Amino acid sequence: MRKFLLASLMIVAGSNAVTAADVAFKDIVGRWCSDSGNVVTFSKGQLLVHFKDGQSRVLKIANVEVNDNRLNIHWVPVKALNNTVYDLSGDKRTLVQLPNTGGDMGPRRELHRC
């Protein structure tokens, strides 16, 4: 009985874990919506932001670093503090842009698949 309980616990604990091997840039490719009404679309080489007022902005991606469930995206032009860090939820349906401590000093933003 103890072996069965221990095995069950290990299966449950492992099923919710997010590891570096589980998260890749491909997991965030596609459309994301914010509560503010903006729509963000990641593609292989760029980020396209459609603002609710009809304007848009394109950011070109230089490279992406992945560490556990965190993605650090470096933008073109490549220079210090020209990056944005995102956390991806375990179910890969919520993407949180962490507050930027350099660059544009942007706030925390929460995005959801749309």
**pTM (two decimals):** 0.75
Q: Print pLDDT tens along the chain (114 aa).
A: 443 333 333 333 333 333 444 689 999 999 999 999 999 999 999 999 999 999 999 999 999 999 999 999 999 999 888 999 999 999 999 999 999 876 666 789 999 999
Residue-range domain boundaries for the chain? 19-113
- Is beta strand 70-75 parallel, antiparallel or unpaired with respect to 109-113? unpaired
The angle subtended at Cα 85 by Cα 26 and Cα 94, nearest 5°, is 60
String of b and e for 64-99 (b: at least 16 CB within 10 Å)? eebeebebebebeeeeeebbbbbbbeeeeeebbbee
Which CATH class, in words, describes the domain spanning 19-113?
mainly beta
